[in-house]
Structure formats: structure tokens, C-alpha cells
Amino acid sequence: MTAALEIDDLWIEAGDPADPLVLVRGVSLTVDAATVVGLVGESGSGKTVTCMASLGLAGRGVRITRGSVRAQGTELVGADEATMMRVRGGVVGTVFQDPLSSLNPLQRIGDQIAEAIALHRGGRRRSHRARVVELLAKVGVPAPEERARAYPHELSGGLRQRVAIAMALANDPALLVADEPTTALDVTVQAQVLDVIRSATRDEARSALIVTHDLGLVAEVADRVAVMYAGQIVEEGPVSVVFGDPQHPYTRGLLASRPVLAPGRRRLGAMVGRPPLPGAWPTGCAFAPRCDAASEACAEAPPVRTGSDGWSRCWHPSDSESGGNAPTAEEGAA
Ligand SMILES: Nc1ncnc2c1ncn2[C@@H]1O[C@H](COP(=O)(O)OP(=O)(O)OP(=O)(O)O)[C@@H](O)[C@H]1O
């Protein structure tokens, strides 16, 4: 089966070609059919530029100097604008952090979605009205017929992001590329938007590449995760494997430095009511991947500690006897 996205040995530069700034170095990444890949990494590691340049949307002066990007088998590097237009919004739907960046403030949202459909499927905007309402309902916009007549500024941030997702799904794309789709939203709304993304991918066997800083989001919706560091992918694999047993020191650091809530209260992978990912943290506290204690014990545990190896783990007073999760002498002294 053709992969939804195949990035092969992609190099991206910016600035003076005689003295270029190399932003991305030989990135290869495949998003298979019906697979969700999370792309994580520290700020400035090249996640956005990889996605944007792949879709021909990189900023001025940013150029692909080597490599190949195929969306559903269509080569995008060096493709003409007509091909890019056909692929963007047709084969690939895009969602950005700020929904206002993809919405026209002067046009009713229903007209904008209808226009996106007409651009790829032809026909007049009016003829796509039923599809617009169906899309708005699908992403959970209440009173979709009425809301279709609203302008972007009349909607909350969460509703605007739902509309942006509806627009990205308008032509039933094989792949969704979402860059920090929940970052600008408050926590409750994040969970709702995450649900929308999950049903747009898992329930409809659609692929997605999701750029995010939120490892919980990745654990929640992604099948695979790729970790970027300084313009390169340093680790890639199934989420349960990479998060459960990270091999690269940067991935270990990233996992160790993720925000920690009260242990036992919230697990990565169970933020919106889903059971933890099989194999990710099969037992114990999700915030301490090497903690074997039952979650009830973790709820009473002292704060998660970071060991000298960069791993977080719980430390229970009773562990001093059993030795199980007790910090080593070195950690205890830290
Ligand atoms: N148009 C540009 N010209 C020059 N450098 C750029 C340009 N766009 C991005 N960069 C640089 O490329 C590097 C990667 O940026 P990018 O936005 O891809 O990082 P990121 O991993 O997505 O970070 P964040 O998580 O903060 O969005 C950064 O050092 C950034 O400053």
C-alpha cells in the first residue's frame, strides 16, 4: 500500500547559498497508510520547517537542497504549483497552531469550507452546503447550520480550531499534517480537539503527522513517534517502544523533563479517558516509566525523582526496604 507520506534524505537550508544555514540534515520519515506519527523535539529542532518545506510552504529563503518528499506517491520536491495545489487541501489537509492563520476573517466559515471543497471538486459553493454542515457536525461544532454563517471572530478559540480541522478534512485527504494543533488552547478544549483529531484519524483510517511538544498528546493519538534534535531525526519507532525504552540520550532527556503532575492523578496515554497504551507503562505510575508500583501507591508517593541516568521514577518510603524503586545512593544524594 502506498505510504501517505515518504520523506527521504531531506536537507533544508536557509540564508546565503554561499554560506548556508543548514536547518534540516538528511531527515527520512515515513507515514504509512492509516498511521499517526508524532514528531517531537525541542524548540528549533526543525519540526515545523520539515513539514512546511515538504508541502512547499516554507518561508522566504528556505529551500530544499536534497531529498525527496512523496505524498501518496506524488513527488513534491520540485513539483509545479498546480501539483502542489492539488496535493495541498486535496491529498494533504493542514492544521496549524493558530486557526486564524488558515481562516479568512472577512468570510463566513461555511463559505470558506465550501470554497475549499469547490477548489478541488468543482461546482459552486452553494452546492456544497450539505457537505459543509456535515463536516462541521463531524468535528463537533454545535448548531452547525447556524455556525456555518458565523465569521471566525464570532467563535471561541476551540471552535475555530474545530472549523480549521473541518476545512482540512473538506476533501477527505489521506493525510493530515497538524502543527501544534492544541498548543494555543486551554486544557479542557485541548482534550476535546484531541478527540476530534483521534476520530478524524483512527475512526476514518486516515494518516497524520502531528508536530507537538506534548508527549501526552503523542501517547494518546500516535502509533509511532519520531524525535528530532538539531535538524535530524535521532529516534523513531512505535510510541510504546520509544517512550517505554528510549535509546537516544536526547529522547531520555525529553521524557525525563516532561511536565510532571501529581503522580497517579493523570497518566500519559489516558488523558481523555483511554486506557494507557499497551506496553507504554504497563504498570505503576506513568510519570515514572520504571516505577513498578501500583498507581494507588504512586498517588501517595513523594514527588517523582530524576535519577542520574535521566530517568524519572517514583520513590516510595517502603521502597527503602524492598529496594525496588528506591533511589540509589548517588540519586539520593542529588
Ligand atoms: N525562514 C527562515 N529563515 C532562517 N531560519 C529559519 C527560517 N525558518 C525557520 N528557521 C530556523 O530553523 C530552525 C528550525 O525551526 P522550526 O520552526 O522548524 O523549529 P521547531 O522544531 O518547529 O520549533 P518550535 O517547536 O519552536 O516550533 C530554527 O533555528 C529556526 O530559527
- Could you tell me if the CB of 48 is within 6 A of ligand 1? yes
So what's the pLDDT on residue 216? 84
Question: What residues does each domain of the chain span?
Answer: 5-251, 259-334
**Residue 88 DSSP symbol:** B
Cβ neighbourhood burial of 74 (10 Å; 0-12, 13-18, 19+):
middle
| CATH H-level superfamily of 5-251 | P-loop containing nucleotide triphosphate hydrolases (3.40.50.300)
Give nearest CA residue, ligand 1 atom 3: 14
pLDDT single digits (tens) 166-197: 999 999 999 999 999 988 888 888 888 888 99
Per-residue pLDDT tens over the stretch 290-301:
444 444 444 444
pLDDT score at 172: 94
User: Which residues, given as ranges, of the chain have pLDDT below 70?
Assistant: 258-334
45 alpha carbon – ligand 1 mean position (Å): 7
Distance 46 CA to ligand 1 centre (A): 6
Q: Which residues pair with 24 in a beta bridge?
A: 12
Q: What is the pLDDT of residue 60?
A: 85
pTM comes to 0.78
Residue 110, SS3 per DSSP:
helix
pLDDT of residue 23: 95
What's the 126 CA to ligand 1 centre distance in angstroms?
A: 40
* 44 CA: nearest ligand 1 atom: 19
Helix (H) or strand (E) holding 211: strand 207-211
- The pLDDT > 70 percentage for the chain reads 77
What distance in angstroms lies between residue 184's CA and the mean position of ligand 1's atoms?
18
- pLDDT value of residue 109: 96
What does the pLDDT read at residue 192?
86
Q: Report helix angle 109-121 to 157-168, nearest 10.
A: 10
Side-chain half-sphere CA neighbours of 92 within 13 A: 31
- How far apart (Å, rounded) are the C-alpha atoms in residues 334 and 316? 17
Per-residue model confidence (pLDDT) at position 259: 57
The preferred substitution site among 48, 64, 227 for testing ligand 1, maximizing ligand atoms within 8 Å of CB, is: 48
